[in-house]
Amino acid sequence: MRKISLSDDILKRADMMFNKCIDCKKCMKNCIMLNNYCSSPKELFGEIVKSGGIDIKIPFSCNLCSLCTEVCPKNINQKELFLEIRRCAFETHKKAILPLGYKVVKFHQKSSFSKLFSTSAKETENICNSAFIPGCSLMSYNPEIVMKTYEYLQSVVPGIKIILKCCANPTRAMGDELGFKQYYSQLQNELTKLKVTEIITACPNCFISIKKNNPNLKITTVWEKIIEKGMPQSLLNKYNKVDIKFKLHDPCPTRYENNIHEAVREIIKKMGIIIEEFEFSKRQTVCCGAGAMVGITNSKLAAVHMGKRAEPSTSEYILTYCQTCAESLSIGEKNAVHLLDLMFKEEKYSTLGLQHKRNNFAKKWVNRYKGKRRIEQL
């Protein structure tokens, strides 16, 4: 255990939460982190105030998913407290973060913004001001799926550009606000250079990150755009004869995005895919376990969380629309599949062989490089 001291402002916030909390423990029902580190959040807040500090593992084991706030009758925002503690730790106890995998995240972010793994479509005279941002995770999984998605978008939004750059969410999640601003400015500069006014994303984290930092831009998702423009005829009823029932997992960044929830379900219905809802879905969805870089900062706890989210599914298969979730839930010993796999993979899935392919570290970066080269050849 490595205890760090906290600022007066954070201690005041923790004290306010201690006094506000009625100790109902509703937030603990689906939170592996709280159950692992305390018997109740009220106890945890009290200990923080009393000792003036916290075990650094605790804030870096929170998925920052906001489910605690969603179910709290007093609307206590634990996410903001733990995120603020992460920022405090980064500013005043940076050495204590190193054992939590900070160097891994730093390598990922530095590489993600390098010319080797980032690019965008060439500038053209086309008046289209829309851009597709697929996200790092999806490209590292399967560049072919990304390009198939882009081909569809080109057919309904002629002249749409594509930008392969990170949204810098991993840096912000680690508490490095200055680093986030420096990285995100590179994406911002690209948007400005290409005169982008509308962004279409495939990654939930990119969607939220860009929505918060570019409120003047129109930001939407592939799913909403498909419903707006119409499903390709080749996808209609594509799986109406496939006897597989999926549990549908909503990524926690989309918790308050009802339009995304409904668009995804409409697409699934039109494709003839059979689904069941998790007990906790949409606004009350449970994190896959990898949120806020916990897969790196506390991998053992993340693995438990991944298994817990996958466990309630009576189906062998889980369907989601987030690549990080698909990978996490497949670690949780279920066959987790990304919706874009079902839409744009060449082969049609049958009742056999449906399994998410988990790429190793090297393969992910190779895929990102291949994807970058594909974009540059457009």
Helix (H, G, I), strand (E, B) or coil at 19: helix
pLDDT of residue 124: 60
pLDDT of residue 123: 62
Smallest CA-to-CA distance from 25 within 13, 16, 34, 36 is with 34
Report pLDDT digits (tens) over 39-67: 999 999 999 999 999 999 999 999 999 99
Helix (H, G, I), strand (E, B) or coil at 63: coil
Question: For residue 98, what are the contacts with CB-CB under 8 A and spacing of at least 6?
Answer: none
Report pLDDT digits (tens) over 169-181: 999 999 999 999 9
Q: Which tokens sit at 337?
A: 């599949």
pLDDT of residue 352: 41
Mean pLDDT across the stretch 98-104?
94
Q: Are 322 and 203 in contact (CB under 8 A)?
A: yes
pLDDT of residue 357: 72
Between 366 and 335, the higher pLDDT residue: 366
Q: Are 222 and 162 in contact (CB under 8 A)?
A: no
Q: Which tokens sit at 114?
A: 């390098």
User: Taking 70 as the threshold, does the pLDDT of residue 5 lie above it?
Assistant: yes
CA–CA distance from 181 to each of 147, 176, 206 (Å)?
Answer: 29, 9, 15
User: Taking 60 as the threshold, does the pLDDT of residue 349 lie above it?
Assistant: no
pLDDT tier for residue 315 given thresholds of 50, 70 and 90: confident
Give the separation between CA 359 and CA 367, rounded to whole angstroms.
Answer: 9
Say what percent of the chain tops pLDDT 90: 87
Q: Are 302 and 290 in contact (CB under 8 A)?
A: yes
Give the separation between CA 275 and CA 265, rounded to whole angstroms.
Answer: 9
pLDDT of residue 351: 44
Smallest CA-to-CA distance from 339 within 220, 204, 230 is with 204
Q: Are 55 and 38 in contact (CB under 8 A)?
A: no
Q: Are 131 and 202 in contact (CB under 8 A)?
A: no
How remote is the C-alpha of 27 from its chain's centroid? 21
Give the separation between CA 133 and CA 180, rounded to whole angstroms.
Answer: 18
Other residues' Cβ atoms within 10 Å of the Cβ of residue 112? 23
Catalogue all structural domains in the chain, each as residue range(s) with its CATH number. 3-99 (1.10.1060), 109-230+363-376 (3.40.50), 233-356 (3.40.50.1860)
pLDDT of residue 364: 96
Report pLDDT digits (tens) over 115-173: 999 998 776 666 799 999 999 999 999 999 999 999 999 999 999 999 999 999 999 99
Q: List residues bridging with 336 in a β-sheet.
A: 318
User: Taking 70 as the threshold, does the pLDDT of residue 343 lie above it?
Assistant: yes
